Amino acid sequence: MKLIPTILCGGAGSRLWPVSRELHPKPFIRLGDGQSLLQKAWLRGAALPDVVETLTVTNRELFFKTEDEYREVADIVGGKDLTNRFILEPFGRNTAPAIAAATLQVAATQGEDACLLVLAADHLIADQAAFAQAVSKAMQLAAQGRLVTFGIQPDMPETGYGYIEVDLDSPVPFVGGPAGESAGFPVARFVEKPDLEKALEYLASGRHLWNSGMFCFQAGTMLREMQQHCPEILAASRACLEQSRTAEGKSFSQVDLDATAFKLVPDDSIDYAVMEKSSNVAVVPCSIGWSDIGSWTALGALTAPDARGNRIEGEVTLHDVSNCCIHSNQRMVGAVGVNDLIIIDTPDAVLIADRSRAQDVKHIYARLKAEGHKTYRLHSTVHRPWGTYTVLEEGRHFKIKRIEVKPGASISLQMHHHRSEHWVVVSGMARVVNGQQELFVNTNESTYIPAGHKHRLENPGLLNLVMIEVQSGEYLGEDDIVRFDDVYGRS
């Protein structure tokens, strides 16, 4: 049976602000080993047997960033010739529409017998061998026509997770496994996040598992269940796919969902739309070192504590400090005489919070978003399909950026109404269109682009092109741009 790891990459990760932003959500956060949560999710699926392609459902604005993430770690599974397929959403629409689109796409390209393994891009699983064994069990259950979810064996009375009540009296045998071992159990019911008293009761019962939000099913099974329980989501998703653009390459496939049609797809989670209504759901209990990294305390726990319980990432100097989580990748952080704090430093925002209030960081994110403050959406370093730019300084009528262009990449042929630009190359060589001129600008050379001039920047070399851009004018917003020709399909 073909297995298609299907990664859902989205969300804001508001509880991990200020490192997580709308256009740099939680899946892109790097851990201590240098890999992002998204890269770990892709590798986790790609390493399984019988996988010939992966499918990622993500926001259109995160597509090129996601491609870069996969490209960085592709050599780790270099023995596999994998195709990476993408479904690009114009905006978030919850998990049921995402899974409906993914299932329809897999059924059309691989057949209804193909098995989807739905993974969240922002979870961590420490035990790959145990995960692979759990997937093997799930595939057996899926082959029997069941919708399968993965239940995590609880080790504490957690009130932040939903629970799954298991029918322990009806185990399903694990064919090929040790005698008496089960592949899984029927689900008795799904339970919402409990209060502490209920969570203690669930932990003691032995019949309740944490709901991991991971699923496994054959495409045909999910389509039939959706037709029964949420036909409007399935029909609207099918209509949207029929109106959407598709691009094919040597090792990738991309479906760009039509925004007008996608807006008509009802917003709902897969749990509410299908899993809680179906009588055909099984669960695989597993202990796989799972965490949803749902707060700074959870992320900090991945770092070994010092002698006073501090968990530190970056350059930090402490005096009489204990039980703090401190994260800084660029600036020196000093702390004196404090306890039980979260201190997160980024170039344009700092978070200071009581460790016991880690879940409440989302309220800061929500307020910034409501006020339209740029720090909810972007970092000072912004990723683009062609590379990155970093705002170094800005003031009234001027802005200074560091621009880095990937080898072979170029910005669109464009024009600005309200600003002029001065480009200074500090590393590499640039091919520049400036009005009617086309010229090469070498290291320590520059060119001036007046407002109203069509211009394009390209890196023809093999190494990254680095330049400083000085903007001046009455208006310096990123929306002052007219694109005439863009290889990345942006308007």
Give pTM, 2 decimals.
0.90
Question: What is the model's pLDDT at position 215?
Answer: 98
Confidence band, pLDDT 50/70/90 cuts, at residue 221? very high
Question: What is the model's pLDDT at position 101?
Answer: 98
The H or E element spanning position 192 is none
* Distance separating alpha carbons of residues 80 and 74, to the nearest angstrom: 9
Residues of the chain with CATH 3.90.550.10: 3-291
**Nearest in space to 404 (alpha carbons), one of 455, 449, 468:** 468
Question: What is the model's pLDDT at position 1?
Answer: 85
**Nearest in space to 198 (alpha carbons), one of 167, 164, 158:** 158
* Distance separating alpha carbons of residues 328 and 347, to the nearest angstrom: 9
The 10s digit of each residue's pLDDT in 56-88 is: 999 999 999 999 999 999 988 876 778 899 999
Backbone dihedral angles phi then psi of residue 193, each to the nearest 5 degrees: -55, 125
Question: What is the model's pLDDT at position 339?
Answer: 98
Ranking 179-188, 213-222, 312-321, 402-411 by mean pLDDT, the lowest is 179-188
Side chain identity at residue 174, one-letter code: F
Q: How far is CA 80 from the centre of its chain?
A: 23
Residue 30 DSSP label: B
Q: Does the pLDDT value for residue 216 go beyond 90?
A: yes
Mean pLDDT of 177-197: 90
Please give the CATH number for the structural domain made up of 3-291: 3.90.550.10
Q: Which CATH architecture has domain 381-485?
A: Sandwich (2.60)
Query: For the range 24-33, what are the long-range contacts, defined as Cβ-Cβ under 8 Å and sequence gap of 24 or more?
Result: 24/378, 24/379, 24/383, 25/62, 25/122, 26/122, 26/293, 27/121, 27/122, 28/65, 28/69, 29/122, 29/293, 29/299, 31/124, 31/302, 32/302, 32/303, 32/313
Confidence band, pLDDT 50/70/90 cuts, at residue 143? very high
The 10s digit of each residue's pLDDT in 353-395 is: 999 999 999 999 999 999 999 999 999 999 898 999 999 999 9
The 10s digit of each residue's pLDDT in 225-256 is: 999 999 999 999 999 999 999 987 666 789 99
Q: Does the pLDDT value for residue 310 go beyond 80?
A: yes
In terms of Cβ atoms closer than 10 Å to its own Cβ (0-12, 13-18, 19+), residue 354 is exposed
Q: Does the pLDDT value for residue 491 go beyond 80?
A: no
Backbone dihedral angles phi then psi of residue 178, each to the nearest 5 degrees: -60, 150
Question: What is the model's pLDDT at position 79?
Answer: 63
The 10s digit of each residue's pLDDT in 442-477 is: 999 999 999 999 999 999 999 999 999 999 999 998
pLDDT greater at residue 242 or residue 329: 242
Question: What is the model's pLDDT at position 69?
Answer: 94
Question: What is the model's pLDDT at position 241?
Answer: 96
* Distance separating alpha carbons of residues 100 and 231, to the nearest angstrom: 10
CA distance to 91, 345, 374, per residue, from 348 (Å):
26, 8, 10
Q: Does the pLDDT value for residue 408 go beyond 80?
A: yes
Mean pLDDT of 421-449: 96
Residues of the chain with CATH 2.60.120.10: 381-485
Q: Which residue has the tokens 């600036």?
A: 331
Question: What is the model's pLDDT at position 170?
Answer: 92
Task: Please provide the average confidence, as pLDDT, over all residues in the chain.
Answer: 94
Question: What is the model's pLDDT at position 247?
Answer: 84
* Distance separating alpha carbons of residues 293 and 20, to the nearest angstrom: 12
**Nearest in space to 85 (alpha carbons), one of 112, 73, 103:** 103
